[in-house]
Every structure is written in structure tokens, then in C-alpha cells.
A and B are shown apart, each in its own frame.
Chain A
Amino acid sequence: MKTMSRKVKIKLFAQISEVAGKKELELEGETIGDLLERLVEDIVELEEVLFKEKKARSLKEDIIILKEGRNIDHLKGLDSEIEEGDKISIFPVVGGG
């Protein structure tokens, strides 16, 4: 099946947005994994913030990624497919209450 790249809005929060020096950007991709690849190409400083190792491409445990308000851990992780116009939110692990 042919898949198509979709444009989505990525929002960065807390220390992640401080490292990136921006709060929002738009990128294209088919899956969350794709998007993150493009994100770290664009903002290289985020590579070590988001990923455990350069090649292995597994997310650090202290990173939370939401696709349309749903944590990708409860979807298909980095393989979660994205749809045109989705909102992706990326957080460091936070606490409070």
C-alpha cells in the first residue's frame, strides 16, 4: 500500500523547547519515528535529548510523546502512523500534583 507523507504540527515543551530554542515547528512524515528523524536533522541538539543511542533509535525513558493527546506508548510507539494535521506534543517526564 502506498503511504504518503503528511504535514503535522510539533509542539515542544519545558526543557526540550529550551534546548531546541523554539516551541513549535511543522514537519512531514508517515510515522512518529519518521518525524523524530526529521526533527533531529533539523535540530541536532535534540538527538541526545530524545534518543538513547544514535543508531538504535530507541526513545529515552524520560521522554513523553503525545499524538493528538494520546501517548504513543499506548498506540504503536514510534511506528504510530500520523495523519495530516495531527498535533504531536513532546515532553520531558514531568511531575507535580
Chain B
Amino acid sequence: MAQRILRVDMDDLKVKEEKVPDKYKNLGGRALTSQIVADEVPPRAHPLGPKNKLVFAPGIVTGTGSPNSGRLSAGGKSPLTGGIKESNAGTPFARGIARKGIKAIIVEGKAEKDKYYLLKLDESGGELVDAREWLGKGLYQAFQELHEEFGENIEIAGAGIAAEMGASNAGIAYTDPEGMSSRYSGRGGLGAVMASRGLKFVMAEEPEDNNVEIKDEETFKEGKKKLAKALAEHDVTKKDGALYTYGTSVLVNIINESGGLPQRNFSTGSDDMSAEVSGEKKAEEIKKRGGVESHKCSPSCIIKCSEIWTKEDGEDPVGVLEYESVWALGPNCGIYDLDTIGELNRACNDLGLDTIEMGNTIAVAMEGGLLDFGDGERALELMDEIRDKTSLGRILANGTEFTGKAFGVDRIPTVKGQAMPAYDPRPIKGIGVTYATTPMGADHTAGYAIAPEIMGVGGKADPFDTKKGELSKGLQQATAAIDSSGYCLFIAFAIMDIDEGMEGVVDTVNGVLGTDFSVEDVMQFGQQVLETEREFNKKAGFSKEDDRLPEFMKEEKLPPHDVVFDVPDEELDSVWED
């Protein structure tokens, strides 16, 4: 079956199939969502209005048997940043739609007010059925009911209660391999874009035949072998390596010891209490409780950085507790208890909220006096305010900047309206350059300078050095390419150090597409994606003055290193100059 694009018209509730235009033929994932958004969404459109669109696109190699290829991009104009957004997730849903031969799903228009639909993908395209019975229900329960009604083998993308309110921090939840709503296109409020079209769920069952076409099997196979070998060899990605053994929150200790783990709304970069919520501590607890360690988020993964966190008695699984989530809902709120963090994470997964944004929101509310730092019990009650759609809940669900304004806070850690992840940019400058300059708003994954600055992976860079424009730019280009390929960004740890791994990525992409890209073309491909995104943002009203960190980070010294963010504006601007 030839690959196709599905266009879901929410105005007249029709699903149309379209041929893939030549211009999109060699794109996938982020490159494709960003290009379609740039081509079809007016940059000044209201993010929740009828002119915005939501685009899903599996990556180029998604659905093949290549390792760590289970990624999906969601894209649209972000209600949180007001700019273009791509939010990338690893989930079996990605493989489900890729194997149906779907290159992209474009959701456009708006259903009648208060009507919500479920898009059921089938062989002939898809149909929209009434989904109002799931309104106001948590996503764990909704996903379970959908499985009961439509079969255990379906994979789901869903918008939650936060999205029903049009909240700027509403993400899109996807099924994990257990069928729970723990995998996310969390960042940037795309769940609200989905629900504002009247779309509540997308459902796909993986077909018996794999419709992902591989044009050059030999090249693909060769590449797959090279990549698998690099992943198996590299210290970060290998079996029994740190990611496999402790999950992503193995970073808690090293970032804390480096003085860059933000605590109590970015007031200090280190606190001995953080060891209580480290990856080591979590792994120890999971062993005791009988959860699952070294778990894969999607079928093709061989890194296995995920896990299943449960309550103390080993019951009520939450899903993964990522480093970012643990930090945001933990140390950044002065909370040093994994069980409280686990329940806050459960609430985010259930309500359809991004954990990074939510943790920052709670921390800013703490700073504003709504609750005390460290008060996990009250933080959990705030999640119920969102569940009950109260006025306070609506404020909180709109994110960190909105909440900061509501409570008169002047220390708001956002860029372009999006809250910062788990690395303070004052003692780790390169990640600050990425936060400032990526078209996505503060986003660590957009150009992960932590790898060279803290881990010494992909070269070694002194985190205090302010000359980081070129480093961030290179990382942003490589990331834009990986996010388009369908590979998990964590392959970067291996392919930045092992040349054969990088060749493997390019070979597999060439194998699928029948192209002859070289390793040298990768950065150029990434640059084109970034330029498309930058151009959209420019037309949406952004300028280089938006490529800046918040004022307090330039004025207030962060203990224990007692440093400010002192990268000159010219260095930030150099990222986008020729």
C-alpha cells in the first residue's frame, strides 16, 4: 500500500486520504509536522481557533525493525508559546500508525461546540464517532475503557481533562506497552489544540501486514546492524549501562553534585536531600516493591530507560518516572519523596498535563504564597482543582507563566512562555543557549548541551564557558534531524561518539527512502527544519529579543557556584547568524 496522508476535517466530520506530495516524500516526524504547519497554518492564527491544525507524523524509520525507532511527532501552533511546536514521544501508537502506511494525520477545522469525537483508524481511512461519554474522565480510566470496548490491541492518542478546558499545559497522552496513558507529547499544549478541534482520541490497531515500505533492503539492513552495534557498545546506551540500570533519573545525583539541579523554583542548584529522589533510590525501591525496571516505552527499544513505578505495595502502576518529572514535581517544589512525586506524576498522566510545566507551575505558585515549598499534600490537592475545573485549577493548567502572573511572581523560569527543564542554565551555560534560542521555548531536548558539558559525551565542553553558540547550534541541527528520523534522541549518546552508529542512522533512512543522503547532509537537513520553524515564529511575531532567558537569571547568583547567566546576547544571536 502506498503511503498516504489522512486529512481529518472536524467541520464536516470527514476523513479523506491524500497522496503524499513530492515535497513531503523524504520528510518524516518533526520535519514533516513543522513543514505542514508552516504550509497550512497562518502564523498569527489563534492556537485554539479554527485555523490552527494538529499534525501527527511518525518518523521516517518508525514501524521498521530498526532499534529505538518508535517515535512520533505531534505539531501545531502552540497555545503555550504562541510559536510553532513539535512534541516528540516514544509509544507503540507510533508504530501502529506507521505500519498502516500513514505518513501524517492532519486534523483541521472545529467540531460544533461541546461535541467530541474519537477517530477510529481503519483500512479505509477512518471514522469519527461520538466520544462525549469520556468527557471529564481521567485518562487511565478512559484508556482502560477504550481497550475493553475496542480490543486489547488498540493503541491510543488522547486529550485529557486539562485539554477539555483549552489549557495551555495540556499534552497529548499515548499508550505505553501496558496500555496506560504514560507516554506523552507533553510540551507546548498540543492536547488543547486537539481538544479544541473536538477531537478527544485517535485509535489505531496495528495491521497484520507492515505497510512501511523499505526501498533498499540491503542498505537498510546494513545500517540497522551498525546502529544496533553502536548502541550495544556505548557506555550510556549499552545493556547494564546507567540508563538501563537506573533509568533517566540517574541524572538527579550528577546534576545535583554539579550544582545545576534547580531546587525550590530555581533558588539553589544543589541540596543533599536530592539523593532521596535519585535514580539509584528509585531503582532500589522498584526492586523492593516489585515494579518493572529496564522497561521499553515502545516495541523496538533496546536501551530500555523506562520503568514501571507503583505504590509502596507494588500495586497501582503509574508508568515511568522520568528524570524531568521527578525533578519538576520533586526538588523544584522542595519535595523529596518519591511516593508524593509518583502520585503527582500519576495526576499529570491522568489529567493530560506536561510534568515539566506542571512542576514549574506548582513551584511558582509556592513562590507566590499559594502553598509552601515542600507541601506535597497541598500540591496533590491542587491537581484536584484542575480535575474539578475550578477557577484556580484553570489558572494552574495554563502553565508557569500564567500562574506566575496570577500570583505576582517575578522569578518565572520560562522562555517564550514555556517552563525550563531540569538544568539551571547559570552554571551550565550551553543548555541555557539552547533554552534561549530554540524555536520551541525552553526545551532541553532541542540541543542537549548537557551531553558534552556534564557527561563528556560528544566532546567535552566546560559548563562555565560562555562561548556556546556554535555548540548549541550543532546540537540543535542534529536533534532536528533525529526528531525527523523516527529514532529516539537517546541514540545520540552513541552516535555522537561512534561514527559507525551515525552511518547506521543515515543508511537506514536511505534504505527506507531510497535516497543517498550522506552523514554530512544530516546537519543541513536539520538546519532546514530549524529555518522553517524560525520563519513561522518570525511571522507569528517573534524576534531575537525573545531569544533571551528571564531577567532574574542574569541578576541573581545561583548557589553553590554563585554564578549568573552571563552568556552575552551577541553569543545567543550568533546561533542564527550565518
Contacts and interface: CB of A to CB of B under 8 A. Distances in A.
Interface of A: 11, 13-15, 17, 61-62, 64, 66, 68-71, 73-74, 87, 89, 91-97
Given A14-B250, A15-B245, A97 B323 contact: yes
B438 to A, nearest CB: 14
Given A13-B254, A14-B279, A17-B280, A94 B242 contact: yes
Nearest to A92: B242
Interface in B462-502: 462-464, 489-490, 493
Interface of B: 235-237, 241-243, 245-251, 253-254, 257-259, 270, 279-280, 305, 323-324, 427, 444-445, 448, 450-451, 454-457, 460, 462-464, 489-490, 493, 560-561
B341 to A, nearest CB: 16
A73 to B, nearest CB: 6
B462 A93 contact: no
A70 B260 CA distance: 11
A93 B246 contact: no
A64 B253 CA distance: 12
A69 B561 CA distance: 8
Contacts of B259: 69
A89 B278 CA distance: 15
A90 to B, nearest CB: 10
Contact of A94 (B254, B462, B489): B254
Central interface residue in A61, A73, A74, by most chain B CB within 10 Å: A74
A17 B281 CA distance: 12
Given A94-B250, A96-B249, A97-B450, A66 B258 contact: yes
Nearest to B465: A74
25 contacts: A13-B254, A14-B242, A14-B246, A14-B279, A14-B280, A17-B280, A61-B456, A66-B254, A69-B427, A71-B456, A71-B462, A89-B253, A93-B235, A94-B243, A94-B246, A94-B251, A95-B236, A95-B242, A96-B242, A96-B243, A96-B249, A96-B305, A97-B324, A97-B445, A97-B490
Nearest to A93: B235
B257 A97 contact: no
Contacts, number: 101
B243 A93 contact: no
Contacts of A17: 280
A87 B560 CA distance: 12
A61 B463 CA distance: 18
Interface SS of A by simple majority = mixed
Given A13-B254, A62-B235, A93 B489 contact: no
Contacts of B249: 96
Contacts of B235: 61-62, 92-93
Given A14-B246, A15-B242, A15-B245, A94 B257 contact: no
Contacts of B236: 93-95
B293 to A, nearest CB: 14
A42 B425 CA distance: 37
A91 B280 contact: no
A69 B270 contact: yes
Nearest to B322: A96
B284 to A, nearest CB: 10
Contacts of B257: 11, 13, 66, 69, 87, 89, 91
A95 B245 contact: no
A50 to B, nearest CB: 14
A69 B270 CA distance: 9
Nearest to A91: B254
A94 B236 CA distance: 6
B464 A74 contact: yes
Contacts of B246: 14, 94
A94 B455 contact: yes
Contacts of B254: 13, 64, 66, 89, 91, 94
Contacts of A73: 456, 460
A95 B253 contact: no
A95 B280 contact: no
Contacts of A61: 235, 456
A17 B323 CA distance: 20
A94 B249 CA distance: 10
Nearest to A87: B257
B455 A95 contact: yes
B242 A69 contact: no
A14 B248 CA distance: 12
A76 to B, nearest CB: 13
A97 B247 CA distance: 10
Identify the interface centre among B235, B305, B450: most chain A CB within 10 Å of its CB. B235
Contacts of B237: 95
B52 to A, nearest CB: 29
Contacts of A74: 460, 462-464
A14 to B, nearest CB: 6
Contacts of B490: 95, 97
A87 B561 CA distance: 13
A96 B306 CA distance: 10
Contacts of B242: 14-15, 92-96
Nearest to A13: B253
Nearest to B275: A23
A93 B457 contact: yes
Given A14-B242, A66-B257, A74-B462, A93 B456 contact: yes
Contact of A96 (B248, B280, B427, B456): B248
Nearest to A73: B460
B243 A95 contact: yes
A89 B279 CA distance: 16
B248 A97 contact: yes
**Which interface residue of A11, A13, A61 has the most chain B CB atoms within 10 A?**
A13
Given A69-B561, A95-B251, 12 more contacts: A62-B235, A64-B254, A71-B258, A71-B454, A73-B456, A74-B460, A93-B236, A94-B254, A95-B243, A95-B455, A95-B457, A97-B248
Nearest to B560: A69
A11 B278 CA distance: 14
